[in-house]
Every structure is written in C-alpha cells, then in structure tokens.
Amino acid sequence: MPVVTLYWDELEKLVGVDRDMILSKLPMLGCDIERVEEDHIDVEFFPNRPDLYSVEGVARALRGFLGIETGYKEYEVKQADWKIIVDESVSEVRPRICGCVVRGLEITDEVIRSLMEVQEDLHWTIGRNRRKMAIGVHDLSVLEFPLRYTTVDSSFSFVPLDFDEEMSIAEIFEKHPKGKEYSFILEKAERYPIILDANGEVVSFPPIINANRTRLTEKTSDVFIDVTGFDKNVDRALNILATMLADRGGVVEGVEVIYPDHVEQTPDLSPTRMSVDREEIDALMGFSLSEGEIISSLEKMRFGVNAREGYFEVLIPPYRADIMHPWDVIEDIAIGYGYDRIKPDYPRTATIGRAHSWNEVREIVKEVMIGLGYLEVITFTLTSERIQYDAMRRERPEPWEGYVPVMHPLTEEHTIVRTDILPKLLEVLSVNTHHPLPQRIFEVGDVVVSMKNILRLAACSTHSRANFAEIRSLVQAIMREFDVEWEVKESDDGAFIEGRRADVVVEGKKVGVFGEIHPEVLENFGIPTPVVGFELDLSELFDVGGVI
Amino acid sequence: MLSPVEITLIKALERGKYSVDEAAKKAGMKRDAVLKAAHLLQEKGYAEVVTELRRRYFLTEEGRRYLKEGLPEERLTKLLEEGVENIDALKELMGKAEFGIGLGWLRKKGAVNIDGGRLRLVKKPVFEEKEWLKAVEEGKELEEDKIRQLMKRKLVDFDENKDIYVVIKEVPKAELKAYVADLTPEIIKSGEWKGREFLKYDITIPSKDVFAAKVHPYERIIRECRKIFLEMGFTEIKGNYVQPSFWNFDALFQPQDHPARDMQDTFYLDRYVDLKEEFEKGYVERVKETHENGWITGSTGWGGKWDVNRARQLVLRTHTTAITIHYLAQNPEPPVKAFCIDRVYRRETIDATHLPEFDQLEGVVLDRNVGFRHLLGLLKEFFAKMGFEDVRFRPGYFPYTEPSVEPEVYVEGLGWVELGGAGVFRKEVTEPLGIKGRVLAWGLGIGRLAMLRLGMKDLRRLYLPDIGWLRKIPAIRR
C-alpha cells in the first residue's frame, strides 16, 4: 500500500487546522500513520482511495471530515480547442487515451514533488505498475496541437527524458532505466504507442517515458496531462490529477479525443449518481440513523446528497475511484458518522459450538505424548526434496502424486510442502545439539500428500543410549492408548538401520514406521548422538472429520 | 545411614583436602570407590568434590640439551676463558646460531666487548638459568618470573591437568550407623529405621536439571483461541492447504489483475483443476458475471474479462478465508457461526516479523439481522475474552469486506496495537454463492498474539524451535 509523505506546512495551510488536530483525526478517516517527523508525516493510505495519494486530496477529505468545508465540490472544465486524434493502430496495443490542460499553475518544487509522488502511487495501484494505466505530465508551451496518438516501429527515435541524445525505441528498452524497468509491458507488441504533436515532434512514448523537451520547468505555468491505458482506470486517474491541480488553483480545460469511430470529451468531472436505500443503510449498519445524521455523514465525506422517499440520491465526486456498490457509500456513512461513535452490540445469533475432530484428535494425541515425556515442537510445512528425501535416504516420490512443488520458490530450503514430519524433527535436533540430553520431541500436524492434508504424528528421542527397544516401547505405549490392534512388519525404509526398523501395520495396511535412524542420515543432519524415531498416520487410525 | 563406602571413606579422613590418591591410600579403597563415596557424601553436605586445573612445567628439547651441554653463553664463556677469541673460530666451534645466542646473552650481562673481530671477556658472568632448568627438571617449585624467562627462551613449556580433590567439610560426630541415610526397600521391610534418626541432607544444594515435557507455547495460545470460539458457539472448520485460486481469490471478489494475486506474493502451483462442482452449482458463472458487470448484486463489477483458467490454478492458500467462504457456500442458510485457525502461506522473504507461512485465526457469523455494529460487538467480546479489555476501532480496507475495520487493543507498555482486521462480506462475495444474509468476519495472525503474549521479537523462533528456549519458557505466568 502506498505511503504518502505529507509536509506539515503545506498540510496545515491547505486544511486550515494545526497538526495536533490533524494527527488525532486522520486515522479515523482510514489510514495508518507510519511516522511522525518534525517537518512531515508518512501516511499509508488504502489502495481503494487513490484520491488520497496527494496532499491536495488529503486536505480536501480532511476539510470535509473536520466540518470545515463539507458536501460535494463542483469542478469546472472549460471548453477549449485542444484535440487528440487517435490512430486505429493503437487499438492493438494500448487503446485508450484521455487528457486535459491545466492553466495558471504556480509550479513550485512542492507542486512538482507532489505531482511526481501521486503519479508514482497511481501507476503502482490503479495503474497496476503502468500496465493498465500510465500518466504523462508536459509543459504545454512546447506542444503544438492537435496531437496524434499512433504507433511506430522499434527503429523510431527521439530524445527521451533525462537524456540529451536521440535513442530508438529498441535502444530505450536496452539502455534507458525506465525502458529497462517497463519493457515487459510491451513485450509482445509489434508496434509501439507514441504521442506526437502537430509538428511530428514526440510528446510521450507511453507507458515508458516522456520526451525530454516537454519536461516541466520553473517557468511552466500551463501543463498538459495525458493518460493512456485500457479501461475506465484511465479516466479515474485523470480525474484525480485534474481535481488535485484545480485545488491548487489551476483552471482545467477539456481535451477532445477523436477516435476513428467516435469522439469523447475528457476529463468528465461531473458526479456519478447512485441511489442508496434507507433500509439498506440501517440493515448494514445494524442500527438506525436519522436522515440528518446520514446526510451530514455523507457531506463530511464530500458526497453530494438528496434525500428522497425511502432512499438517498448520492452524488459521487469524480475523483472517487472506489465506489462500485451502495455498500461502499454506506461504509463512508459509517466513517463520516465516526467508528468511535458506533455502540458495539453482541449479535444474538444462537448456535452451538462444535470442535472439529481433526483438532480434537490432535489434543488427545498431545496429551499422550506429553505424558510420555515428549516436548511439543512446531515446524514449517515448507521444505525441500533434499531434506525430505535425499538426506533421509528415501526415494523421491512423484511430484503431485506424492509431494506438492511450489512455483518460483524464494529459497532452496522451501521448494515443496512436506509429506513427512520426521525429517523436520531431525532438523530441530540438528540445531539443538548444544542443549542437554536426552532430547525427546514430537509434532502432531499436517502434511500434504497428493494435494490433500493428512494428519500425522512423529516423535524422536536422542541421547547416547537411544536404541530400538526405547522406540518400540514408545510405539507400544501409544498404540495401547489409541486402543489399536497392530503388528510389525520388517521395513525397507532407508532412513533407519536395517534390522532395526519396523512398519506399523493395522488391518493389513501400513500406517507408520519406527526404528533407529541410520548413521548416514545422522551425518546428513549433523547430529552427533543416536536418534530413534517414529511417524504415524493418524488420518488412517481415526476419523479426523471432513476437510474442505 | 551412610552407605558402607561412605562410612569407610569418612572414617579414614579428617576435615581437610585430599587428593584422590591420598584418600584412596588412607582409606584403603580404589580410586573409583573414593570418587563414588565422595559424590554421595557431597549430596549429604559432608564433602565436596573439587576439580582444580594444575600446570605442570617441563623442559623443551632445547631446554634438556642446554641442561646437559650447558647454555650457549656458558659454553661461549668457557671457550673465551680457554683463549679462543677470534669470532670466526668461535662460530666454527659453536655453530653460527648458538654463537649468536651466546653472544647476545653475554652482551646483555655486560660480560664481553668486541674488538676488531675478537671477543674479550671483561667480567665473569653468573649463570643462574642452569639451576632453574634443573629445578624444573626435578619438579621443584620455581618463582614465576624465572619460569617466565625460561618460557620466553622456549626452554620450558607446560601442560594442564585436572586434579580431583576430596574436601571433607564435616565428619558427622554421632555414631555414623545410628542414622538412616538412603531409605531402601530392605530398611522399610525390616523396620530397621524405627527409633533411629534420619541423616539430614543439605537441602540448599541444587540437583541436576530435568525438563518438563509440555505443549508448545504457541499451541497454547491457539488452544485458548479455540476454547473462546467454542464457548461463543462457533463451529470449527478445517481445509486443505492447497486450494484453487477460485476460492482463494475469485470467490472473494479479488480482481484477476489485483497486485495481491501476483506471483510476487503468492505461492502458485503449476496445476489446474476442473472446478467441476463449482460449475455444477453455478458458482463459476455467477462469479464471472459479478466480476465483469456486477451481476444482480447492485455493483458495477470490475469490468474487463474474467478468465476461468486463472481461477483453476492451484495455490497454497494465502488466507483461511478461502476455507470460510467455501464453508459458507456449502452452508448458505443462517444462522451460521464458524471459525478456522490454521496455516496460511505468503511468498515473503523471511525476517523477524515476516514468515512464508504462519497461522491465522478467522471467525464468521452469518445471520439475517446483523450489521456492522454487531461486528464491533463480536470483536469487543472476543478480545475481552483474550484479555484485551480496551478495544477501539478505525476504518480499514480489505478487498472483500465493506465496511472494513481495523481493531486496536490497548496493551500495557505498548499503547494501542493494531490486531487483525474485520468487515462485512461484500454482496459481490455472498450473492453469487447463494449465501443468505450478512456475513460478519474477522481475522488475525496468531504470530501477532504470540508477540504480545510471549513478548517475542523474532517469530522465526516459533517454527524452528530452540529446545533451550522451549524448556525455559514457563507453562503459565502469574
């Protein structure tokens, strides 16, 4: 989630209250304050509120929330003669474009910083790392309208931002930092999107890089913003930027986008209307609010509202990208009303508690193991073929039928989900060789075989005299407590010493194994003392209940 | 009663310190028996077995040779006294190296001067070092600075040995046989103890440590949470770690291009399932409609195309909500109260507070006449049962709940601490699955609780247990 840096002097000036007031109220609007410094705060806003990624947006919301300036705020788009002509060829690669002009800005370092920050955050969130949406901001004075949005091939060249010589598109992908970072978006493209001005000069190569000549300077007062992409997120981003700059005192002028088959006026800063049922509000809140409370809550959250018979007509500001459903509005009613003012009420839903047998079996098994002097441990279920099979002198089973391999593991130690617990216990012993012996440990938990969870119990004991008799006694005791008739069969499990290993067989089926761990296995794990151990399949022995 | 060996030993000795050999000689016992008896006496406070490191000095090969042949400076002096003064000749006779050593020491003592290739003795030097070497050879005591000098010349070296001593602290005055020491089956059977006093042990001496077998502290927290849920009337549910993306993401209205679905954060499996049951029940079609256009939920949907193939791919579940939502789909009629405490996975690099797998707790209530206020009521009650009396609520964001809330609890010494998240399941989630009523849901990471409860700073310790830590951490705290 994006962390936005807000400078106190600007924030206090734009909101009109002091920092203590802001600090106390801001979290109740929906954010996490990460850091409070002398000159700024870092605030993490939620990904559903991209309109709060700038100091202007935060100030607008806070002024409403604090009751300084409430209700819907109108934004005007002046008609002008700015045009973008869209070539058919872009439909293959990046079909949507919109734009606006903002005039009369005082471009200070603060404005540039805020613009760059909001741009980055929007790219990352609603732009999905520029894939779905990318923004360019340009100095209007160097552009000759109408612009053309078209495509070129990879040999096409221009001077990209932060460079002073021409580079072809192929070279930008290879050499320009932004080209390298974002070339994946156009990986499959045959032709590349480009915005040219009336003189054929490059404005931008979306979503990668602007032309160097259009960069903002201290002398800039009028800007042109382009947003390209695929869907309505393009319009949302433009609305957020246009309203933010309008709050800075800029005058927004519309741009006409001429597609081969239709024409659009952008940006559209008129509100969206949504009907929200009075009953729905009460039901979702769980209590009844008065009409006045609903209206004032909505206005604090900067919505426009008209009370109608049984419902409210809500005007949604153009910068709000998150309102998909009336419940989204109701959440804002709750926030505007104040979460701290809502009286919690325990629901009267009457049901009977019921434990799952999986965990009930685990609890009883733990009781038995602890009674037998074994210490409970828990371990990761992520592990590797090397630990689970190779180090155990066991053959690797088939993937999927046996174990589950993960795609793109982060480390060599975590490539599969465990099918056995015993190797995990040996790992525990291997990192505990400096603690006094004897060490007796167990784990009762899940393994995944054939993509399904199975409940297992494993235990091991290590000290200088650990031997087969000890582990057989243990298995005997456990099976006595489990009330299970069982027999042993000679085992062929390579993890144990031949002649000192046994399969546990119940009703003709192998349900476990025990014995003296093979010294080669001990060597693999770096354990200097003899170890005896067992593993039992509890899913075979008990009804462990249904698993979703 | 002291055992026969103890009596034999203690009778032979008085208060004082004895080497094992000495004690063995006096008591006429074997060394092993002396040690055994001494340890037994130690338990009763009459004796102490102490181990002392002892240095033994010995001559190096060079030291032995000098002792036999004389120190180089001594030999040089002798040659000078015999009239050999030419340096080259002296070198020839003594060897270049030893001549050098000898000359060096004589000059140090101010016994010679060099005059045009000749060496002259100006005073008669004294050679105490030879006496010192002799003393070392014979095992006699030597002052420390002398030893140091010899060691510096590499004429003496040492090794270290452990010497065991028996220190008799007290010889029981009364007739030894009158006391009962070890109470044996024989003594009980014979009634021999009657009318006799019991030997008093020194109860202040700590015995050897033994360690309790016990439940893992983390599992104890899970057990406590389960108990709370069961007391509150919730049904426990259990699900597989491997789940189709459909239940982990799509059924929860997570858009298919959502960053949380990136390979970056999720352990995907290279395996696709047919979603047969999900198709048959109509879930797939309705979820698709809801994602694309909102279906009849009143939502706009995410727009774009929803691809069933992405929903087919298996993942290691990233939250237990994959299980609760599926359970609610199977049990869509209110009232339902269910909970799940189980392992979830995130593709995250391990550090002190981020683990690739951890346990999550989640509770859901499905009912018709419940709303946001009741969710807050549930949270307040649940946290109070966990021992967090002060709870407050802030707005939160989760993709499948609306409204969403981040509860905070007050912890002494830490202040307000965020603990989990909660919300009401969106209609885009419940309606396509035919769930009737509203679903109040909340969840939290057990690791977070463990940090608050056990004061842990590093969560890695939970899953790669340090047996020393487990042995040390108390089962209960007052």
Encoded amino acid at A296, one letter: S
B175 pLDDT exceeds 70?
no
Determine whether the interchain pair A285/B404 forms a contact, defined as Cβ–Cβ distance below 8 Å: no
Q: Which of residues 183-222 of A touch B (CB under 8 A)?
A: none
Tell me how far apart the alpha carbons of residues A348 and B365 are, in angstroms, rounded to a whole number.
11
Contacts of B371 in chain A (CB under 8 A): 282-287
Band of pLDDT at residue B9, cut at 50, 70 and 90 = confident
Chain B CB within 8 Å of residue A116 CB: no
Query: Tokens representing A132?
Result: 């779905």
Report the residue of chain A nearest B407, measured CA to CA. A339
pLDDT higher than threshold 60 for residue A252: yes
**What is the band of B440 on the pLDDT scale with cuts at 50, 70, 90?**
very high
Q: What is the DSSP string of B335-370?
A: PEEEEEEEEEE------SS--SEEEEEEEEEEESS-
Which among A378, A408, A435 has CB closest to B462? A378
pLDDT at B1: 60
* Owner of token pair 């015999």: B82
Q: Does B125 touch chain A (CB under 8 A)?
A: no
Task: Name every residue whose Cβ is closer than 8 Å to that of residue A237 and which is 6 or more positions away in sequence.
Answer: A50, A122, A126, A127, A133, A135, A227, A229
Q: Does A398 touch chain B (CB under 8 A)?
A: no
- ipTM of predicted complex: 0.93
Nearest chain A residue (CA) to B397: A46
- Dump pLDDT digits (tens) for A417-456: 999 999 999 999 999 999 999 999 999 999 999 999 999 9
Q: What was the pLDDT predicted at B177?
A: 58
B396 at interface of A, judged by CB pairs closer than 8 A: yes
DSSP state of A242: H
Helices assigned H by DSSP within B272-424: 276-280, 283-293, 308-312, 321-330, 372-385
- Cβ neighbours of residue A177 under 8 Å, at least 6 residues apart? none
Q: Given CB atoms, is B256 within the 8 Å cutoff of chain A? A: no
Q: Are B404 and B422 in contact (CB under 8 A)?
A: yes
Rounded to the nearest 10 degrees, the angle between the axes of helix A278-285 and helix B372-385 is 0
Contact criterion met (CB below 8 Å) for A120 and A241 = no
Distance from CA of B267 to the nearest CA of A (A): 6
* Residue A436 at interface with chain B, using a CB cutoff of 8 Å: yes
Say which amino acid occupies B207: S
Cβ contacts from A onto B, under 8 A: 273
DSSP string, B451-464: HHHH--S-THHHHS
Residues of A in contact with B421 (CB under 8 A): none
Residues of A in contact with B320 (CB under 8 A): none
How far B309 CA sits from the closest chain A CA (Å)?
17
Nearest-Cα distance to chain A for B332, in Å, is 15
Nearest-by-Cβ selection for A285 from B270, B369, B373: B373
Angle at which helices A291-300 and A278-285 cross, to 10°:
80
> What type of residue is A224?
F
Nearest to A46 among B238, B323, B397 (CB): B397
The C-alpha atoms of residue A195 and residue A226 are separated, in whole angstroms, by: 9
Which one of B464, B469, B471, B473 would you mutate to disrupt binding with A, by most A Cβ within 10 Å of its Cβ? B464
| B302-319 average pLDDT score | 95
**pLDDT at residue A140 is higher than 70:** yes
* CA-atom Rg of chain B in angstroms: 43
Res A344 pLDDT > 80:
yes
How far CA A503 is from CA of A401, A475, A535, in Å, comes to 22, 11, 10
Residue A184: per-residue pLDDT: 92
How far A424 CA sits from the closest chain B CA (Å)?
9
| Chain B contact set for A453 (CB, 8 A) | 238-241
Judge whether B397 is closer than 8 Å to chain A, CB to CB. yes
Within an 8 Å CB–CB cutoff, is residue A92 touching chain B? Answer: no
pLDDT at residue B174, as a whole number: 55
Q: Which of A206-210, A502-506, B143-147, B235-239 has the lowest mean pLDDT?
A: B143-147
Interface check B294 vs A, CB under 8 A: yes
- What are the beta bridge partners of residue A327? none
Q: Measured between CB atoms, does A24 come within 8 Å of chain B?
A: no
Instruction: Say whether the peptide bond before residue B259 is cis (omega within 30 degrees of 0).
Output: no
Tokens of B37: 């008896």
pTM for the model = 0.81
Residue B453: pLDDT band (50, 70, 90) is: confident
Confidence band of B173 (pLDDT split at 50, 70, 90) = low
Distance CA(A80)–CA(A65), nearest Å, equals 35
The percent of residues above 90 in pLDDT, for chain A, comes to: 93
Chain B residues 336-365 with CB within 8 Å of chain A: 336-337, 343, 345, 347-350, 355-357, 365
Asked whether residue B284 carries a pLDDT value surpassing 90, the answer given is yes
pLDDT confidence of residue B134: 86
Average pLDDT, chain B: 90
Say which amino acid occupies B202. Answer: D
Closest CA to B104 of B153, B156, B151, B157: B153
* Confidence at B176, pLDDT banded by 50, 70, 90: low
Average pLDDT over residues B13-22: 87
pLDDT reading at A526 higher than 60? yes
Q: How far apart are CA B91 and CA B369, in angstroms?
A: 112
Under CATH, domain B219-472 is a member of which superfamily? Bira Bifunctional Protein; Domain 2 (3.30.930.10)
Phi/psi for B196 (5° steps) reads -115, 155
pLDDT given at position A296: 97
Domains delineated in chain A: 3-65 (3.30.56.10), 78-266 (3.50.40.10), 275-312+322-339 (3.30.56.10), 357-541 (3.30.930.10)
Mean pLDDT computed over A320-346:
96
Q: Average the pLDDT over each of A404-413, B92-101, B324-333 and give the range with the smallest value.
A: B92-101
Chain B residue numbers touching A289 (CB-CB < 8 A) = none
Task: Show residues of chain A in contact with B357, CB under 8 Å.
Answer: 380-382
Give the start-end residues of each E strand in A406-451.
416-417, 439-449
**Model pLDDT, residue B67:** 85
Q: How many CB atoms lie within 10 A of CB A13?
A: 11
| Among candidates A344, A406, A417 on the partner chain, residue whose Cβ is nearest the Cβ of B376 | A344
Cα nearest neighbour of B264 on chain A = A408
- Torsion sign, CA atoms A314, A315, A319, A324: positive
Closest Cβ opposite residue A287 in set B223, B373, B406: B373
| pLDDT tens, position by position, B178-220 | 678 788 899 899 998 888 888 778 888 888 889 999 999 999 9
**B86 has a chain A CB within 8 A of its CB:** no
* CB burial readout B262-300, b (16+ within 10 A) else e: eeeebbbbebebebeebeeeebbebbbbbbebbbebbbb
The pLDDT of residue B144: 84
Among B420, B397, B390, B388, residue whose Cα is nearest residue B407: B420
What is the per-residue pLDDT across B224-258, written as a single tens digit (0 to 9) for each? 999 999 999 999 999 999 999 999 999 999 999 88
Indicate the helix (H) or strand (E) that contains A64. Answer: helix A55-65
Q: Apex CA A292: angle with CA A291 and CA A293, to 5°?
A: 90
Of A353, A376, A547, the CB nearest to B215: A376
DSSP A70-107: -S------EEEEEEEEEPGGGGGT--EEEEEEEES---
Cβ separation of A440 and B334 shorter than 8 Å? no
CB contact under 8 A, A375 and B470: yes
Nearest CB to B268; choose among A351, A407, A446: A407
Contact B377 A30 (CB under 8 A): no
Residues 6+ apart with CB under 8 A from A509: A540
Residues in chain A within 8 Å Cβ distance of B380: 344, 346
Cα A135 to Cα A149: distance, rounded to the nearest angstrom: 14
What are B46's two structure tokens? 């009459």
Decide: residue A231, CB within 10 A, 0-12 exposed, 13-18 middle, 19+ buried: middle
User: What fold does the segment set B4-58+160-198 form as a domain?
Assistant: Arc Repressor Mutant, subunit A (1.10.10)
Cis peptide before B125 (omega within 30 of 0): no
Three-class secondary structure of residue A359 per DSSP: helix
CA distances from A540 to A400, B180, B439 (A): 20, 55, 35
